[in-house]
Structure 1
């Protein structure tokens, strides 16, 4: 998915479109920093499905690209450890970051 297509999906109100775009950019976008920042943006979404997937995608970026602004991402993720709806996904993302970004 191109950045332009992803931005269109992100502008929609459809959870499925947003989630598909998040996964696509985490896996395939060469601009990891842009993908990271989009995931951080959606980490604050009111919908727990989107929030949780944004956290998961941050872990994917760490695993696939071996790059993240580590401290920035860790601070953001740790802020959601008490969010019962996504805490498991946050913990998994933190584990991925710990494993793949030394």
Structure 2
């Protein structure tokens, strides 16, 4: 997968906005003040996987597999309504890395499809913030994505 300059700049801005520590393939290390306690790998992995594989991984007990599936769904799923439902279902996970991936995937769905059920999604994100206050920054970023990319409000 090759990113355009615009996509790379967008990701770079998001990473710095969240204050995450990440070692990029170029060897640049950024600071990680937030999310130290998340059990999630920030090393690059190609998030593309077939729908059936993503669906299968969602039922895994391995948080890393579930987070990979959620990100793939956010970036690749053609059925935005189904993808939104899957992400909302995972927002209330006890595992913060899964909730984080679901939050991120919702932002990807908004960017790619330019539509979401805003009442359902914003309500679910508010509930997630109550359950996982440490994810407030990620939720704010996703709400920014929704505001930016969803034009039919």
TM-score (structure 1 length as normaliser): 0.92
Which consecutive unaligned segments of at least 5 residues does structure 2 have?
A: 1-48
Query: What is the aligned counterpart of 1:2 among 40, 45, 50?
Result: 50
Residue pair 1:81, 1:91 contacting (<8 A) in 2 also: no
In the alignment, the residues of structure 2 paired with residue 52 and residue 30 of structure 1 have an alpha-carbon distance, to the nearest angstrom, of: 21
Alignment of 1:61-80 (within 5 A): 61-80=109-128
- Provide the rounded CA distance (Å) in 2 between the counterparts of 1:80 and 1:24: 21
For the pair 1:92 / 2:141, whether they are aligned, the reply is yes
- Equivalenced residue count is 102
CA offsets, 1:31-64, max 9 Å, x none?
A: 1111111100110111001101101110111011
- Contact kept? 1:59, 1:96, Cα under 8 Å: yes
Instruction: Tell me the CA shift for residue 4 of structure 1.
Output: 1.9
The structure with more helix, counted as a fraction of residues: 1
Taking only aligned residues, the RMSD between alpha carbons, in angstroms, comes to 1.2
Unaligned runs of 5+ in 1: none
Aligned to 1:38: 86
Q: Shift of the alpha carbon at 1:99?
A: 1.0
Structure number with greater Rg is 2
| TM-score normalized by the length of structure 2 | 0.63
SS at match of 1:81: helix
Please list every run of at least 4 consecutive aligned residues from structure 1 whose deviation after the TM superposition is greater than 6 angstroms: none
Give, in whole Å, the separation in 1 of the partners of 2:94 and 2:145: 24
> Residues 11-30 of structure 1, C-alpha deviation per residue, up to 9 Å, x if partnerless?
11111111111111111110
**Higher RCO, 1 vs 2 (CA within 8 Å, ≥6 residues apart):** 1
CA distance in 1, matches of 2:141, 2:78: 23
List aligned pairs for 1:7-18, cutoff 5 A: 7-18=55-66
How many angstroms does 1:79 deviate by?
A: 1.8
